[in-house]
Structure 1
Amino acid sequence: MAVPSRQRLSAADWTVAAFEALADGGLAAVAVEPIAVRLGATKGSFYWHFTGRDALITAALELWERVDTEEVIAEIDVLPAGLPRLRALIVGAVESRNDQGARAELALQPTARHPLVAPVLARVTRRRLGYLAEQFAELGFSPDEAARRAQLAYTSYLGLAQLAHATPGEADLSPAFLDTMLEVLANPTQPA
């Protein structure tokens, strides 16, 4: 009986599978053997591309950073500055709360101090806060006020994502809620 030939997997295949595992079960779910089974591969295939689990975790975290921060910012950057970008960021972030990137972000929180996770979370947070602050500055806020509003917007997103994850029925994700959130954040007469 002929053994079916296996498809040759790339490092990108392993990275995507690790990212999916991360989103589904956190850092602990990024384990070589279960991912190999999921891919229908051997551990030898893994070691062809990676030196060990830490290298795979690093690749998955870099994928998350690129796709869910840098690519999102690049997409948003084509919109007119100010309210259109800010609205797209807020609506997009809330609407994507169930996608892999958002799930991965929540799954990373319990391991935020892990030596592989901490620097990536720090870079992502700084990049996102900086980009948000730029949008508030475009609306005429001073640098300090823009930074405060950026932090308020980002912590609102994280809190809303956690609320929707933990108690889905309690999170108001309606357009009216998002309009109110944007109005409060972008209104210069509302102190942050």
Structure 2
Amino acid sequence: MRLSRDDWARAGLELLAEEGLAGLAVEPLARRLGTTKGSFYWHFKDRDDLIQAALERWEADDTTAVIASAAAVEDPRKRLDALADRALGDALRLGFDAAILAAAGDPRVQPVLVRVTRTRMEFIVQMYRDLGLSKRDAERHARLTYSLFLGMSQLRIAEGARRPSPAEVRRSVGHAVHMLLSSAGLD
């Protein structure tokens, strides 16, 4: 099987989630993919190029595609549910965010993380605005909603074998979002 640049980027993102930024290295990744380092150098000039491609893959899959899917839902309340389902639907995705946050101080990671966070927050704020909240209240609710997602991501990593299933995480987030909506009189 011939590997593409995207195959390498996706595998690199998975390795990043499992081992952190320091663990994202060419040789272990080549072994994981059952190929040689030569294949890597066919697609990438160096490890930094791979890191950038993995981060771009994370942004495309876990932000752009998730938002596009949720945005297709017309009803704002159902859109919020769709966002929670899509964002929390894949157990690996939760590991991506935690691993990328752990590497936030790295100059290769930081600008992508800032851009992704801004994009996600703008979308969540707009959902709360569509539900009728003022800009200020929508921003507060969005911050709490996004903090909850990031906290759940971190907890899933920290809890190891005792970690809740993705369905349990979705239920917890759904409950918290319901409480946020109730506090704003939107339940």
Shared topology, TM-score over 0.5? yes
Q: Shift in Å at residue 95 of structure 1?
A: 3.8
Residues 141 and 188 of structure 1 are in contact (CA less than 8 Å); yes or no, is this contact kept in structure 2? no
- 2:77 aligned with 1:115, yes or no? no
Q: Are residues 1:146 and 2:138 paired? A: yes
1:102-137 deviations in Å (ceiling 9; x for gaps)? 211111222111011111111111111100000000
- Higher Cα radius of gyration: 1
- 1:10 has 2:4 as partner: yes
Three-state SS of the structure 1 residue aligned to 2:106 is: coil
Structure 1 residue 90 corresponds to structure 2 residue 62: no
Contact 1:11-1:49 within 8 A present in 2 as well: yes
Change (3 A) 1:57 1:136: same
Higher helix share: 2
User: Cα gap change, 1:44/1:86 in structure 2, threshold over 3 Å: closer, same or farther?
Assistant: same
Q: 1:103 to 1:175 in 2, by over 3 A?
A: closer
For the structure 1 residues 175 and 161, does the alpha-carbon distance in structure 2 shift closer, same or farther, using more than 3 Å as the test? closer
**1:132 pairs with 110, 118, 124, which one?**
124
Does the alignment pair 1:159 with 2:151?
A: yes
Would the aligned equivalents of 1:137 and 1:143 in 2 still touch at CA under 8 Å?
yes
Q: Are 2:24 and 1:30 aligned?
A: yes
Q: Which runs of 4+ in 1 moved over 6 A?
A: none
* Partner Cα separation in structure 2 for residue 45 and residue 175 of structure 1: 39
CA offset at residue 19 of structure 1? 1.4
AA of the residue aligned to 1:76: A
CA distance in 2, matches of 1:103, 1:175: 15
Partner deviation per Cα, 1:63-86 (whole Å, 9 max, x = no partner)? 010001100111111112310011
Unmatched 5+ stretches in structure 1? 1-6
CA distance in 2, matches of 1:133, 1:72: 15
Q: Which stretch has the larger CA shift, 22-31 or 132-141?
A: 22-31
Give me the TM-score of the superposition, normalised by structure 2: 0.87
2:47 is matched with: 53
Q: Specify every segment of 5 or more residues in structure 2 that has no aligned partner in the other structure, as ranges.
A: none
Which whole-Å CA distance do the structure 2 matches of 1:114 and 1:13 have between them?
24
